Amino acid sequence: MFWKRKPKKQEGHEATDSAVEVAEDTEEKVDDAVGSEDTDTEETTEKAATEDRSADETETAGSDEAEAADEKADSDESASDDTDEKADEDAKEAKTEDSEEEDEVVEVGVTGPDADGITRVRTAGTFEFDGEKSEIISNTWIVEADKDGVVVIDPAHDAEAILKVVGDREVYLVACTNAYSPHIEAALTIAEETEADIALHPREMRAWRRVHGAEHRPEIEVEGGGSFDVGDLHIDVLPLPGTSPGTVGYYVSQLGAVFGGDTLRKGEPGMVGGIYIDYTTQLASIGENLLTLPPDTRILPDRGPSTTVETESRNFDAWV
């Protein structure tokens, strides 16, 4: 708002008119100025509103971009986690497959020791039963009892191969699941070489004498329901009659493993010379004393690959 001064032309009416004109002009200018100011204000307000909307849109866009970036980061992280998990699963599966392939090996040789200190020695020999002879490959299990000594379970056909795996360690015990030759053939030689005791069920003495004679008797008589400690290991003796009256299993809970001899092999009850001796009793031993162990317990047999309680539990109904 401003004033504009004009010179006075004459006195009287003209002057009055001039004054009126000046006043009118002044009012018009004031109105124009006010209008201009209002217009400027409106334009300023609209501009500010526009700027506010623009700022809001920018902020919203920035927020959306940030959220999108976060979501992408989360997605990438999740994808990375999934990739890592898949890699771990693939590695675990590959390791399991390698272990299974190694366990399926049936040639003469040595497998292990595994993480639990168990070594499998596969030796070849001839098994004669009921007038029939057959060539077989049997498992002997060498179990680390502590840092200085081992337990040898079911010493089969080749004492030299077994002793080679034992090495400089002491043999605390030679444990036999029954007295068929694949379970005891090398027992006497190993015991004499290492001054170890032999453990066997007393009802297996007749079969023992057929192989080793009457003059060399096992020092320790074991029966189902008993137990003993060797080194750092606690070993429970399981009654497993069926393939023979005095068949037993050696269960080491701290290793999650049971050495069941010929009672149960992978996928089937064990046969002796191609036949079942007492199938009903053998099934009872399997169902009551082996498959009642924890599901992840490994069953380490006298022949063929290992299996688990969980796996064989699924097969049991088909055998009954």
Label residue 151 by pLDDT band (50, 70, 90): very high
Q: Where a domain ends, among 38, 71, 103?
A: 103
Query: Which pLDDT score, from 0 to 100, does residue 175 have?
Result: 98
Characterize 259-268 residue by residue with b for buried, 16 or more Cβ atoms within 10 angstroms of its Cβ, and e for exposed. bbbbbbbbee
**Co-location of 196 and 264 in the same domain:** yes
- Are 82 and 195 in a shared domain? no
pLDDT at 71: 55
Based on the fold, state whether residues 141 and 237 are members of the same structural domain. Answer: yes
Q: What are the angstrom distances between the C-alpha of 63 and each of 50, 68, 75, 168?
A: 19, 8, 18, 72
Query: Per-residue confidence at 70, pLDDT binned at 50, 70, 90?
Result: low
Please say if the pLDDT value at position 95 is more than 70.
no
Under the banding of pLDDT at 50, 70 and 90, the label for residue 81 is low
302 and 139 in contact (C-beta within 8 Å)?
yes
Residues 182 and 300 in one domain: yes
**Residue 96 banded pLDDT, cuts 50, 70, 90:** very low
User: pLDDT tens digits, residue range 31-62?
Assistant: 444 444 444 444 444 544 445 454 444 444 44
- State whether 182 and 275 are in the same domain: yes
Tens of pLDDT along 247-296? 999 999 999 999 999 999 999 999 999 999 999 999 999 999 999 999 99
Of 139, 123, 106, give the one whose Cα is nearest residue 302.
139
Question: Is 1 inside a domain boundary?
Answer: no
Whether residue 212 is predicted with pLDDT greater than 60 in this model: the reply is yes
Q: What is the DSSP string of 16-64?
A: HHHHHHHHHHHHHHHHHHHHHHHHHHHHHHHHHHHHHHHHHHHHHHHHH
Instruction: Confirm whether 67 is domain-assigned.
Output: yes
| The predicted structure's pLDDT at residue 65 | 53
What CA–CA distance (Å, rounded) separates 246 from 239?
8
Instruction: Based on the fold, state whether residues 145 and 43 are members of the same structural domain.
Output: no
CB-based contacts of 196: which residues, under 8 Å, 6+ apart? 152, 170, 171, 172, 173, 174, 190
d(CA 120, CA 229): 21
> At 137, is the pLDDT very low, low, confident or very high (cuts 50, 70, 90)?
very high
- What whole-number distance in Å separates Cα of residue 173 and Cα of residue 232? 13
CATH number at residue 187: 3.60.15.10
Between 15 and 189, name the one with better pLDDT: 189
- Calpha distance 297→285 (Å, rounded): 16
| Whole-number pLDDT of residue 285 | 98
Q: What is the pLDDT of residues 169-205, one digit of tens each?
A: 999 999 999 999 999 999 999 999 999 999 999 999 9
Would residue 7 count as lying in a domain? no
- Give the number of domains in the chain: 2
- Quote the DSSP letter at residue 253: G
Are both 188 and 124 inside the same structural domain?
yes
* pLDDT for the residue numbered 302: 98
| Ramachandran class of 173: left when φ > 0, alpha when ψ lies in -120 to 50, beta otherwise | beta
Verify that 292 and 229 share a domain, yes or no: yes
Task: Print the domain residue range for 240.
Answer: 108-319
pLDDT at position 251: 98
CA angle 166, 239, 273 (to 5 degrees): 70
**Both tokens assigned to 51:** 């700027």
* Per-residue model confidence (pLDDT) at position 194: 97
